[in-house]
Amino acid sequence: MDYFPLFIDLKNKNCLVIGAGDIAARKIELLAKAGAIISVIAPEISDSVYQLAANNPDIKIQLKKFSPDDITQQRLIISATNQADINILVAATADAHNIPVNVVDNPALCSFIVPAIIDRSPIVAAVSSGGASPVLARLLRAKLESLIPPAFGRMAKLAEKYRALVKEHINPPAQRRIFWENVLQGSIAELFYSGKEAEAEARLKNAILENPENLDNTGEVYLVGAGPGDPDLLTFRALRLMQQADVVVYDRLVSEEILQLVRRDAEKIYVGKQRDNHSLAQESINELLARLAKKGKRVVRLKGGDPFIFGRGGEEIETLVEQNINFQVVPGITAASGCATYAGIPLTHRDHAQSCTFITGHLKNNSVNLNWQQLSAPNQTIVIYMGLVGLEIICQSMIQHGASSDLPIALIQQGTTHRQRVITGTLGTLPEKLKGQGIQAPTLFIIGTVVSLHDSLKWFHPENNHRE
């Protein structure tokens, strides 16, 4: 271990910063968050440091060159200048006074390292490479940030509030540990993270006083949008819930790359639907979710795109509401937004479209019952989900109701993934153009003059991208 990690209380303690550029400003801001009284010494002061001082009376600026006499009884010192001689003098003087010193980007002169910080006060985590690779430390911090909910700190304060009561009612210590583990990674924590803090606190208090042994018997359902396919488009909350679920119920639009991020030992249940081939009817899926939750399971219902946009999410949570089962809904990037963006087709554009309409082209009894007059109006973008089978009928109907046969249309297959394929044409040409192309779902169609921007705005180039 090159450095011993520790946390220092700087509240109302004198700290000294030498230098007043943008790098110094970042260090000053960190010290200010810790409640330090900060003296800044530099012959020139940047606007960012002046702004910090203007908003914080505990930051004092001295417009002067550093002198060894400036080091007296400070709790710690940071030197953030670009002058090697000054940095060496600061480090030597601080060492002579036995005061911890950090010289930015010069580990050899440092007696302590400023780590990359994850702040969920009162929970604080720090990552350091010992000065070997600050960028690598920041990358690791970013990964941790994605796993630690923003409300984690408030949850810690709630635990602190009830710590004495838990100690009074739950013995021995090993049982208390198990109790807190169940609280901090179970349904009470999820209530808290989803904004139901009063309900979470009430359930915590009841668990302490009434039934601490049965705390983990309450199941719940997380309705999670998996996005259009690229795992990088998952939300932080979606990833966290996927990695703590006991059971994952998923459909065919969830990519294999996203399933790889699910907790390794979670049970996975496939309930995908294809045209005329449903592995489970929707009503059966609804009941499955409820049944698993009643067994005390944490259930992630993982759905492609967004659960509330042609995802039947509303139907599934209606069943949960009827049976009084706790649930959360985590939105995902819908296919329209994700696929259009990765294809370089803006859904709205000042010169092309002032509105955008999402429709489903799913055929029922070999017909598509839509408001063709409205869909054929100019200056808009139409996005069609599940439109592959009915494409020819859709194009013909729009032309019959006034849309130009030359109106651009794009097909996007497996958008946002390395298998993405984009084929463009017009209402009059695309249905014929797709014949023999081996097109398979999932697909999305975008209709409107915004499609003409694809060639100039496309930025995502998967290895096997189809070019027309």
Q: What mean pLDDT is predicted for residues 143-162?
A: 87
Boundaries of domain holding 402: 342-457
Statement to judge: residues 264 and 348 lie in one domain: no
What residues form the annotated binding site for S-adenosyl-L-methionine?
228, 304-306, 309, 334-335, 386, 415
Do both 451 and 356 map to the same domain?
yes
Indicate whether 298 belongs to any domain: yes
Q: Domain tally for the chain?
A: 4
Is 461 within 8 Å of 417 (Cβ atoms)? no
Average pLDDT for the chain: 90
Q: Answer whether residue 89 is part of any domain.
A: yes
For residues 227 and 316, membership in a common domain is answered with yes
Please, is 98 exposed, middle or buried when counting C-beta atoms within 10 Å of its C-beta (0-12, 13-18, 19+)? Answer: exposed
Q: Is residue 194 part of a domain?
A: yes
Catalytic residue chosen out of the listed positions 196, 268, 273, 294: 273
- The Cα 297–Cα 344 span in angstroms is 41
Greater confidence (61 vs 436) lies with 61
Catalytic choice (27, 230, 251, 303): 251
Q: Which of 333, 358, 373 corresponds to the end of one domain?
A: 333
Domain boundary among 53, 85, 114: 114
- Dihedral sign of CA atoms 411, 414, 415, 418 in order: negative
Could you identify the residue written with the tokens 């509030």?
A: 161
Same structural domain for residues 288 and 391? no
Answer yes or no: do 247 and 277 share one domain.
Answer: yes
State yes or no: is 119 an active-site residue: no
**Residue at 125 is within a domain:** no
> Does 251 share its domain with 212?
no
178: confidence class by pLDDT, cuts 50, 70, 90: confident
Residues 415, 370, single domain; the answer is yes
pLDDT, tens digit (0-9, with 9 covering 90-100), for 363-390: 556 567 789 999 999 999 999 998 888 8
- Considering the domain architecture, whether residues 232 and 318 belong to the same structural domain is answered as yes
CATH of the domain at 325: 3.40.1010.10
Q: How confident is the model at residue 361 (pLDDT cuts 50, 70, 90)?
A: confident
**Does the pLDDT at position 467 exceed 60?**
no
* pLDDT score recorded for residue 466: 44
Binding-site residue ranges for NAD(+)? 22-23, 43-44
81 located within any domain: yes
Q: Which residue has the higher pLDDT, 333 or 171?
A: 333
CATH of the domain at 377: 3.30.950.10
Q: Are residues 189 and 229 in the same domain?
A: no
CA distance 300 to 139: 28
* CATH number (domain holding residue 104): 3.40.50.720
pLDDT digits (tens, 9 = 90+) for 209-235: 876 565 556 688 999 999 999 999 999
Is position 251 annotated as part of the catalytic site?
yes
| Cα 453 to Cα 316: distance, rounded to the nearest angstrom | 38
Q: What per-residue confidence (pLDDT) applies to 49?
A: 95
